[in-house]
């Protein structure tokens, strides 16, 4: 049973940085795709970034991030990261780690990911 456990959230002022971590437990094979999503109350969960874990390690980002976030994996540590720089108040949300073994994935779709963490809160003050 694959389990994802996020950490690294917190409160930061605008312009600051945070690094989220997601440790993967219970896997036999490393997931094909892993991603980060975020959600604010009253809104749908949205894709932030994703990585194809095999081959070329291709990464995907939401256009709205303007290059401020970086997704990375460390297989030796069974961990996925999200480095978040130049944070803005609009980045405030619950951030979720997600994983899938599917080969055909639309990285921004919640429904294409079958495994989810419990979330870690990020709050950015102005």
Report the DSSP beta bridge partners of residue 79: 23, 74
Tell me, what's the pLDDT at 15? 98
Tell me, what's the pLDDT at 56? 86
pLDDT tens sequence for the chain (126 residues): 999 999 999 999 999 999 999 999 999 999 999 999 999 999 999 999 999 998 788 999 999 998 999 999 998 999 999 999 999 999 999 999 999 999 999 999 999 999 999 999 999 999
Tell me, what's the pLDDT at 86? 98
Q: Specify whether the CB–CB gap between 18 and 36 falls below 8 A.
A: no
Q: Specify whether the CB–CB gap between 79 and 23 falls below 8 A.
A: yes
Strand stretches in 1-119, DSSP E: 3-7, 10-13, 18-25, 33-39, 46-52, 59-61, 69-74, 79-84, 93-100, 115-116
The whole-angstrom separation of Cα 79 and Cα 32 is 14
C-beta atoms surrounding 57 within 10 Å = 11
How far separated are the first and last CA of the chain, in Å rounded?
A: 40
Which residues, at least 6 apart from 70, have a Cβ–Cβ distance to it below 8 Å? Answer: 49, 81, 82, 83, 85
């Amino acid at each position: 049973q694959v389990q994802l456990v996020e950490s690294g959230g917190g409160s930061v002022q605008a312009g600051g940085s945070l690094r989220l971590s997601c440790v993967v437990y219970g896997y036999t094979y490393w997931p094909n795709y892993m991603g980060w999503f975020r959600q604010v109350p009253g809104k749908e969960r949205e894709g932030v970034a994703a990585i194809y874990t095999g081959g070329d390690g291709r990464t995907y980002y939401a256009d709205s991030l303007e290059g401020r976030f970086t997704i990375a994996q460390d297989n030796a540590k069974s961990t996925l990261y999200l480095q978040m720089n130049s944070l803005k108040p609009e980045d405030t949300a619950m951030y979720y780690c997600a994983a899938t073994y599917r080969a055909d994935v639309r990285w921004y779709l919640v429904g294409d990911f079958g495994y989810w963490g419990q979330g870690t809160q990020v709050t950015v003050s102005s």
